Amino acid sequence: MPDFDIIVVGAGTAGMPCAIEAVATGARVLVIEQTDRPGGTLHVSLGQLSGAATQLQAQQGIEDNAAAHLADIERINGGTARTDLLRRTVDRQGATIDWLMELGFDMDPACPAILYLHEAYSVARTYWGVDGGLSVFKAVRPLFERAMKQPNASLRYGTRATSLLTTDGTVTGLRVEYGGQSHEITAGAVVLASGGYGGNARMFEQLTGRPLVTAALDSSTGAGIEMAQSIGARLVGANKYLPTYAGIPQTAGGDRIDWRQMPALTPQQRQPWELHLSPDGRRFVREDSPSVDEREHALLDLPELRFWCVFDDAILRDAPALLPGWTGDELRDAWASRPDFVRADTVPELARATGMDPAHLSDSLNAYAAACGGDAPDRTGRLHCPRPIAGPGLRAILMHGMVLKTAAGLDVTDRLEVRGDAGVIPGLYAVGEVMGGAALSGQGFVSGMSVTPALTLGRWLGAELGTSVTTQSKNRNDL
């Protein structure tokens, strides 16, 4: 008999609900977590959720259903995600929102709402907690901790899965490291709930050919993906990478972003007063396009995924804040010392300090000034042209397309069995971002379609695997 019926790798967004449901069936469950705390990416995630036909929608008279949610997702991403997997999760996401509410989820009173950070749904079905992802964590954590105290549950922090054990092609357990030593643990099923690779620059660059600039945690190492690949699992979705528009690293030239310091670039919340210019000084995007998808795809045309956001002293003074999450001290320090926050008196000087081509920069500013004066249409089709950018005091901030979640992941069946070229790998399952963000969002970002599926499919998989184990054992006992 194996040491455990089920091992869940990762006590994060998907792993916690998976373990909760598996333990409730009576299965013998081990959860291993490489860090010293549960919650995974929920500690930094915005935690926006989506689900149709929720009790909250009903209370507010919002008509919605799972079919409409699915149709909206496929409209937004042009049908580039997995419809079978979408059905499995979307049909249950409304129930996930109701479940969170029963657990005491501290929902923002503005929910449900239509949000514009990603391409918008056609009805109000996005929800978020007052503390973002932490609100989700606070709701689920007590249930997880209670489950882990059951006699059929074990939990090990500081324990890292390093490879999968197999016998004749079937996964039979894991090799793990803790206390500086390697150990083997056997199980009837291994669930990889180990997240994406948004903290792993090497893997990200290999898969996308782009430099990593990320708001993900270091614990998003992609280890689960690489472990499964090494026993023949197939990787899918690498060609569907799309950057989030856009962020500023915590340090100049650094690759880590704190999402609380994200610039206000959503036109539905703040119309742009600035120009976004490619590293050589050309316009590449309609800054006020209501479609974030259009802006994100335009960013893909810039090999390094970065651009200069250009304005002047008068705009800084008169426009709504571009960096609302920054304190006065942080801004003063940045302008005083960071090479990616540039102030210059003349266009040639700005070009020199930013590396932009002076001719392109000048041409971009002049053409935009003509559009502001009504002398010519803006060359990108931009409609919000409040005033030319002419100084005195020209300014530019370097911004980057960034990673919130990673696109590529393990190929799974609609029952979340991991598969390789030769078919399903028995005993191995994947749930959450380890399946690749593209599986459910395609080449696009769809509101709430990472956290909610991680919770929903995590619960579903835990219950399915647990029930199958306990039914088999009951059948054996009945014989």
Ligand X SMILES: Cc1cc2nc3c(=O)[nH]c(=O)nc-3n(C[C@H](O)[C@H](O)[C@H](O)COP(=O)(O)OP(=O)(O)OC[C@H]3O[C@@H](n4cnc5c(N)ncnc54)[C@H](O)[C@@H]3O)c2cc1C
Q: Taking the complex as a whole, how short is the minimal distance between the CB of residue 131 and ligand X, in angstroms? A: 12
> How many other C-beta atoms can be found within 10 angstroms of the C-beta atom of residue 84?
11
Q: Is 296 in the site for ligand X (CB under 6 A)?
A: no
Which is nearest to 66 in space by CA: 91, 99, 49, 85?
91
- Of residues 178-217, those binding ligand X (CB under 6 A): 193-195, 215-216
**Near ligand X by CB under 6 A: residue from 44, 120, 225, 285:** 44
Q: Taking the complex as a whole, how short is the minimal distance between the CB of residue 140 and ligand X, in angstroms? A: 11
CA dist list (Å): 37 to 176, 264, 423:
17, 32, 35
Residue type, 310: V
Please work out the total of residues on this chain that contact ligand X, with binding judged by CB under 6 A: 43
Q: Is 46 in the site for ligand X (CB under 6 A)?
A: yes
Q: Is 116 in the site for ligand X (CB under 6 A)?
A: no
Q: Is 410 in the site for ligand X (CB under 6 A)?
A: no
> How many other C-beta atoms can be found within 10 angstroms of the C-beta atom of residue 102?
9
Q: Is 90 in the site for ligand X (CB under 6 A)?
A: no
User: Which lies closer to ligand X via its Cβ, residue 178 or residue 335?
Assistant: 178
| Per-position x/- string for 240-279, each x denoting binding to ligand X as judged by CB under 6 A, each - no binding | -------------------x--------------------
Coil/strand/helix, residue 154: strand
* Contact yes or no for 39/12 (Cβ under 8 A): yes
User: Which lies closer to ligand X via its Cβ, residue 32 or residue 305?
Assistant: 32
Q: Taking the complex as a whole, how short is the minimal distance between the CB of residue 402 and ligand X, in angstroms? A: 9
Buried residues in 207-216 as b, exposed as e (16+ CB within 10 A): bbebbbbbbb
* Contact yes or no for 29/4 (Cβ under 8 A): yes
Using CB positions, name the residue nearest to ligand X: 12
Distance linking the first and last C-alpha atoms of the chain: 18
Burial of 95 per CB tally in 10 Å (0-12, 13-18, 19+): middle
**Near ligand X by CB under 6 A: residue from 249, 281, 432, 462:** 432
User: Which lies closer to ligand X via its Cβ, residue 325 or residue 393?
Assistant: 325
Tokens 């070009």 map to which residue? Answer: 351
Which region among 71-79, 302-310, 442-450, 465-473 touches ligand X (by CB under 6 A)? Answer: 442-450
Q: How far apart (Å, rounded) are the C-alpha atoms in residues 163 and 160? A: 9
User: Which lies closer to ligand X via its Cβ, residue 259 or residue 326?
Assistant: 259
Q: Taking the complex as a whole, how short is the minimal distance between the CB of residue 234 and ligand X, in angstroms? A: 18
Which region among 10-18, 92-100, 143-151, 341-349 touches ligand X (by CB under 6 A)? Answer: 10-18
Q: Is 57 in the site for ligand X (CB under 6 A)?
A: no
Sequential DSSP letters for 161-219: EEEEEEETTEEEEEEEEETTEEEEEEEEEEEE----STT-HHHHHHHHSS---B-S-TT
Q: Which residues bind ligand X (CB under 6 A)?
A: 9-15, 32-35, 40-42, 44-48, 133, 160-161, 193-195, 215-216, 219-221, 223-224, 259, 404-405, 432-434, 448-451, 454
